[in-house]
Amino acid sequence: MGLRRATVGGALTVGLVIAVEPAAAQSINRALIRNLNRQLLYVAAPLAILVETILFYAVWRYRDNNDPTPTKENRSLEITWTLATAIVLLFVGFASFNVLLSPYISPSYGDASVQSNAAEQALQGAVIPDDPDAIEVEVIAYRWGWEFVYPEANVSAQNTSVIPEGTDVYYHITAREVLHAFHAPELGLKQDAIPGQHNTIRTSVGETGEYRVYCSEYCGAGHSRMYATVRVVNQSSYETWLDEQRAGNATGPTNSSNATTSSRQAQPVPP
Ligand SMILES: [Cu+2]
């Protein structure tokens, strides 16, 4: 009886897991996390329903039983719940590990190589991409704002990071004085910003648009205003933005006056 019920529950679970569709998401990271969340939900929901059903059935069935006798030994029931638990845990472990080992979630397990040149060695602890087309951005969190440095393009920008769509981007995150944390929830990105070290996150965003970045580590009076924007554009708009930034950086003072500007204020949109 218990075995049959478990078999039906198991079949239901497998059926629901197979029915999981890949969700459309803004970034690869977000897609990986969302799919894992869904897979686990599709396993957890039928299990919760099964357990609650048995619980309510037992309460109703034995409501007038004044002389209960405990079950002494039921070999098949014990084997069933041990196996069912093992299968569920193996599924959860395997599904989670698959996501954790993705080079977008753990870049250090991916195609990272040793820092070779001086510029890369300056990024202590950063994971440097093998792919020469990948874009690297040093993200410097400070009280209270964000500086985005594009070392290859010799560009730095305050509170706005423009990146091209569908391209691998490595954000090397650090902080100037105290702990901060980079958090772009819509892109599935979150990483600590620690002075003196670089924590790398890797992403590729498929949808153009503006994505809000928050500081998610309490860092003082300006913490709640510590926003930035990741703006995802097509390749030519990206090149235009880099040129504009280079021109802006050359004039000097205009750039530093941006340091305290909140990203909520309008930024010039490249054509
Ligand atoms: Cu902060």
**CA 238–ligand 1 middle distance (angstroms):** 27
**CA 189–ligand 1 middle distance (angstroms):** 16
What is the Cα–Cα distance from 39 to 96, expressed in whole angstroms?
Answer: 10
Count of CB atoms situated within 10 Å of the CB of 13: 21
Per-residue confidence (pLDDT) for residue 1, from 0 to 100: 44
Q: Which residues surround the ion ligand 1 when the cut-off is CB under 5 Å?
A: 180, 215, 219, 226
DSSP state of 161: E
Residues 6+ positions from 109 with CB-CB distance below 8 Å: 101, 103
**CA 198–ligand 1 middle distance (angstroms):** 16
- Cα distances from 158 to residues 4, 107, 130, 148, 223, in angstroms, run 62, 25, 27, 6, 16
**CA 53–ligand 1 middle distance (angstroms):** 47
H or E element, residue 88 = helix 75-100
Per-residue confidence (pLDDT) for residue 130, from 0 to 100: 78
**Tens of pLDDT, residue by residue, the chain (271 residues):** 455 555 555 555 555 544 544 446 789 999 999 999 999 999 899 999 999 999 999 999 988 888 888 878 889 989 999 999 999 999 999 999 999 988 898 887 544 455 556 666 677 778 888 788 889 999 999 999 999 999 888 899 999 999 999 999 999 999 999 999 999 999 999 999 999 888 999 999 999 999 999 999 999 999 999 999 999 999 999 999 999 988 886 665 444 434 444 444 444 444 4
Residue 166: phi and psi, rounded to 5, are 65, 20
Would you identify the CATH topology of the domain 125-260? Answer: Immunoglobulin-like (2.60.40)
Strands (E), 124-258: 135-142, 145-150, 155-158, 160-164, 169-175, 180-184, 189-193, 199-203, 209-215, 227-233
Residues 6+ positions from 96 with CB-CB distance below 8 Å: 36
**CA 125–ligand 1 middle distance (angstroms):** 20
Residue spans of the domains in the chain: they are: 2-61+77-100, 125-260
With beta carbons less than 8 A apart as the criterion, state whether 43 and 92 touch.
yes
What is the Cα–Cα distance from 218 to 68, expressed in whole angstroms?
Answer: 55
What is the Cα–Cα distance from 82 to 75, expressed in whole angstroms?
Answer: 11
Per-residue confidence (pLDDT) for residue 237, from 0 to 100: 94
**CA 264–ligand 1 middle distance (angstroms):** 17
Q: What's the per-residue H, E or C state across 197-211? A: CCEEEEECECCCEEE
**CA 190–ligand 1 middle distance (angstroms):** 13
**CA 192–ligand 1 middle distance (angstroms):** 10
The DSSP bridge partners found for residue 214 are 183, 227
**CA 186–ligand 1 middle distance (angstroms):** 19
Per-residue confidence (pLDDT) for residue 266, from 0 to 100: 41
What is the Cα–Cα distance from 65 to 62, expressed in whole angstroms?
Answer: 5
What is the Cα–Cα distance from 17 to 32, expressed in whole angstroms?
Answer: 15
